[in-house]
Each structure stands twice: as structure tokens, then as C-alpha cells.
């Protein structure tokens, strides 16, 4: 029997979470670990299983196998205890078009049996202010733009103080100014102590606001960790400028690299190579450190006139893991 309380320090934890639709596996045995207080980016191409995973996490869809824990409590068994502590925006907001933004929030709050009626008006006003919709509070939602509706959906998630916020594509349809406002809002929510789980396909959004991320591809979780860890996990590329191309290539080959000699740049040949994570013959402890490579080159009489080792970006890591491009801007 699965224990009721699990994963100390984790706001979200899944174990072997799986969802099948007939013979199709939409989510394939994923183990997510979202630290409390983090801003966690949930990344992946369209159709990779992100929204299906979120629906299972929130009890909106049943899992075929595996388990979910939110705020240390098992879902969906403890759903009544968990959901009052969670705010969510999933698959775009839905509102009554003939009512104003404020009226919609009043109705939604009234439907929440955990909400306090006496503070409803003040909370609606504050939520609209936080998402920049005070000026449109009395305007009918049918006159709202897509971006305004998206912000109203976030306002609904903020009507009560939440320990966990789950936002599915929160900047969808927003103009650049609205996108910046949502980013600022997410940062402020995290600063107040909330954990924010953001599903997104926008690289700029993730890199600017997230502390951690996970990458989905074809229903599988292919990587997760802090943003620096995800970047560092990618291959590093060496770039060397030297007039001693042949001798330098021999040294790099001993480090397990396959050097590519390019066109001279005036100071010598430009050599590039992918730096392996480990050296096959373990020549030197920590041998793939840049200083170790330079020392070996110099020891062999290679004149080094330029040398850099650069890690790939988060976008490079995403493409390497999924084989697909990543939107870098809206």
C-alpha cells in the first residue's frame, strides 16, 4: 500500500506514471520530482505528453499505472485536501462570455466551497490587479482578447493563496508586454513561497523564470534537474587555433576526441572537436578540464593561439534529446 505522505521537500512527485489510450502510450512511466519553492519548467514538443501528465496530476484524468503525490499527499485519494492548496490554469481558460471579468471571478469563487465569502470582493479585486486587468474588470469577457482571457485564467488561480500553482502555457496569446508581466508575476509568486509548475514550449520563458526543468519527448521523461545541470549535461565543444594542426590533432585524439580541421584564420588552422565526458584511457585525473588539454598541447610543442571550450545552451540540449526545434521567441 502506498503511504499517504511521501517525498519530503517535493511539491510534486510522480512514480512510474503512465497513461495509455488503447494501444497508444501517451505518458510512459515518468518519475517527476519538483522541489518545493521552485519555478519548474515542464518542456516538450506538442504531443509529448505534457498536458496529459498535468491532467493526471490534478485528478482530471485517471492514470493507467503509477502514482502522483502533490504537496506530500497522494492523488487522487487525497484530492479534497490537496486541491484547495493548488491553483491551476490548464488547456486555456473558459468563462461566461456575457459576464464581465470580475463577475466571472465572483462566480468561480462562489463555487469554491473552501473560499471565504466575506473577503470575495477584495480577493477578486486583488487578483485582477496582479494580472493587470483592473481596467477591464467590468468589460464583458466576449470582448477580451486571447491574452486578456489568459490573464483572467491566471487571476482565477490566484483568488486564494496557493502553495502550488500549475500553469499550462501561461503566456499563450500574450503580447510582449503581457508576457513580461506574467514572468514578473511568476517570480513574485515564487518569492512569496509558492511552488510554480509551468508547462511551456518557449525557451526564453523557461530560461528567464525557471530554476528547474524537465524535458518530455514522445511521452517519456528524458531529462530533469536544475537549469545549470541540464545545460552542463550537454556536450562541450572545443575550438583551437594553432599553426601546428597535425600535432594538435594527435594530442586531441589521445583525449578521445575527433578533431575537425577548418580553414585557417590568419593565425593558424581552426580545429573543433566535441569534448567527451570521460577520457577512455584515463590519461590524467580530470583530463577533460580545459587547462589539462592546454597543458598537454603545450607539452607536445603545439603553439596555442586561441582556445575555448563552450557548453551548449538549453536549446541545444532540448534538440539533442528530442530531435525537434524549440521556439525561442513568441
Choose among 227, 257, 228, 226: nearest CA to 240.
257
C-alpha radius of gyration, the chain, whole number: 25
DSSP β-ladder status, 260-261 and 10-21: unpaired
What digits encode the pLDDT tens for the residues 162-210?
A: 899 999 888 877 778 778 878 888 888 888 888 999 988 777 778 888 9
| Phi, psi angles (nearest 5°) of residue 5 | -110, 130
Is the pLDDT reported for residue 269 higher than 60? yes
pLDDT at 313: 65
Choose among 285, 18, 71: nearest CA to 197.
71
CB 40 within 8 A of CB 212: yes
pLDDT band at 288; cut points 50, 70, 90 = low
Predicted TM-score (pTM) of the model is 0.72
The partner residues of 10 in beta bridges, in order of sequence, read 35
180: phi > 0 → left, psi -120 to 50 → alpha, else beta; which? alpha
Choose among 76, 88, 91: nearest CA to 159.
88
Going along the chain from its start, the domains and CATH numbers come out as 10-231 (3.40.50.300), 235-311 (3.30.70.120)
pLDDT band at 321; cut points 50, 70, 90 = low
pLDDT at 5: 42
Average pLDDT, the chain: 83
What digits encode the pLDDT tens for the residues 75-98?
A: 989 988 998 899 888 876 689 999
SS (H, E, C) the chain: CCCCECCCCEEEEEEEEEEEECCEEEEEEECCEEECCCEEEEECCCCCCHHHHHHHHCCCCCCCEEEEEECCEEECCCHHHHHHHEEEECCCCCCCCCCEHHHHHHHHHHCCCCCCHHHHHHHHHHHHHHCCCHHHCCCEHHHCCHHHHHHHHHHHHCCCCCCEEEEECCCCCCCHHHHHHHHHHHHHHHHCCCEEEEEECEHHHHHHHCCEEEEEECCEEEEEEEHHHHHHCCCEEEEEEECCHHHHHHHHHHCCCCCEECCCCCCCEEEEEEECCCCCCCCCCCCCCHHHHHHHHHHCCCCCCEEEEEECCHHHHHHHHHCCCCECCC
Choose among 59, 65, 29: nearest CA to 221.
29
Average pLDDT over every residue of 132-150: 90
pLDDT at 55: 93
CA distance 255 to 76: 52
Decide which of 14 and 321 is more confident: 14
pLDDT band at 265; cut points 50, 70, 90 = low
Is the pLDDT reported for residue 212 higher than 90? yes
Dihedral angle sign, alpha carbons of residues 191, 75, 12, 90 = negative
pLDDT at 320: 64
pLDDT at 119: 93
pLDDT at 284: 40
The cell for 56 is 493526471
Decide which of 94 and 7 is more confident: 94
Is the pLDDT reported for residue 35 higher than 90? yes
What digits encode the pLDDT tens for the residues 107-130?
A: 999 988 888 889 999 999 999 998
Up-side HSE of residue 31: CA atoms within 13 Å toward CB?
Answer: 4
User: By percentage, how much of the chain surpasses pLDDT 70?
Assistant: 85
Average pLDDT over every residue of 206-232: 85
CB 204 within 8 A of CB 227: no
How far, in whole angstroms, is CA 280 from its chain's centroid? Answer: 34
Of 115-119, 224-228, 284-288, the range with the lowest mean pLDDT is 284-288
Dihedral angle sign, alpha carbons of residues 98, 103, 107, 108 = positive
CA distance 26 to 10: 24
Decide which of 217 and 29 is more confident: 29
CA distance 154 to 186: 10
Amino acid at each position: 500500500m502506498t503511504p499517504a505522505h511521501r517525498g519530503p521537500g517535493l511539491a510534486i512527485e510522480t512514480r512510474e506514471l503512465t497513461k495509455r489510450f488503447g494501444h497508444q502510450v501517451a505518458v510512459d512511466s515518468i518519475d517527476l520530482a519538483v522541489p518545493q519553492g521552485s519555478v519548474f519548467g515542464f518542456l516538450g514538443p506538442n504531443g509529448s505528453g505534457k498536458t496529459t501528465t498535468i491532467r493526471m496530476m490534478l485528478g482530471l484524468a485517471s492514470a493507467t499505472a503509477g502514482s502522483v503525490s502533490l504537496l506530500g499527499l497522494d492523488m487522487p485519494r487525497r484530492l479534497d485536501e490537496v486541491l484547495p492548496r493548488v491553483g491551476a490554469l490548464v488547456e486555456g481558460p473558459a468563462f461566461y462570455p456575457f459576464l464581465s471579468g470580475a463577475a466571472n471571478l465572483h462566480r468561480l469563487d462562489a463555487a469554491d466551497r473552501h473560499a471565504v465569502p466575506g473577503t470575495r470582493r477584495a480577493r477578486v479585486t486583488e487578483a485582477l490587479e496582479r494580472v493587470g486587468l483592473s481596467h477591464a474588470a467590468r468589460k464583458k469577457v466576449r470582448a477580451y482578447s486571447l491574452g486578456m482571457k489568459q490573464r483572467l485564467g491566471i487571476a482565477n488561480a490566484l483568488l486564494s493563496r496557493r502553495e502550488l500553482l500549475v500553469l499550462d502555457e501561461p503566456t499563450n496569446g500574450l503580447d510582449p508586454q503581457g508576457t513580461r508581466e506574467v514572468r514578473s508575476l511568476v517570480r513574485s509568486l515564487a518569492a512569496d513561497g509558492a511552488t510554480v509548475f509551468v508547462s511551456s514550449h518557449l525557451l526564453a520563458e523557461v530560461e528567464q523564470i525557471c530554476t528547474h526543468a524537465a524535458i518530455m519527448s514522445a511521452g517519456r521523461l528524458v531529462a530533469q534537474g536544475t537549469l545549470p545541470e541540464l545545460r552542463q549535461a550537454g556536450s562541450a565543444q572545443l575550438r583551437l587555433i594553432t599553426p601546428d594542426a597535425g600535432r594538435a590533432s594527435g594530442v586531441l585524439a589521445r583525449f578521445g576526441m575527433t578533431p575537425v580541421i577548418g580553414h585557417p584564420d590568419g593565425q593558424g588552422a581552426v580545429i573543433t572537436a566535441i569534448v567527451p565526458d570521460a577520457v577512455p584511457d584515463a590519461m590524467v585525473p580530470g583530463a577533460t578540464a580545459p587547462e589539462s588539454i592546454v597543458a598537454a598541447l603545450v607539452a607536445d610543442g603545439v603553439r596555442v593561439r586561441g582556445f575555448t571550450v563552450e557548453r551548449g545552451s538549453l536549446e541545444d540540449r532540448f534538440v539533442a534529446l528530442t530531435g525537434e526545434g524549440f521556439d525561442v521567441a513568441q
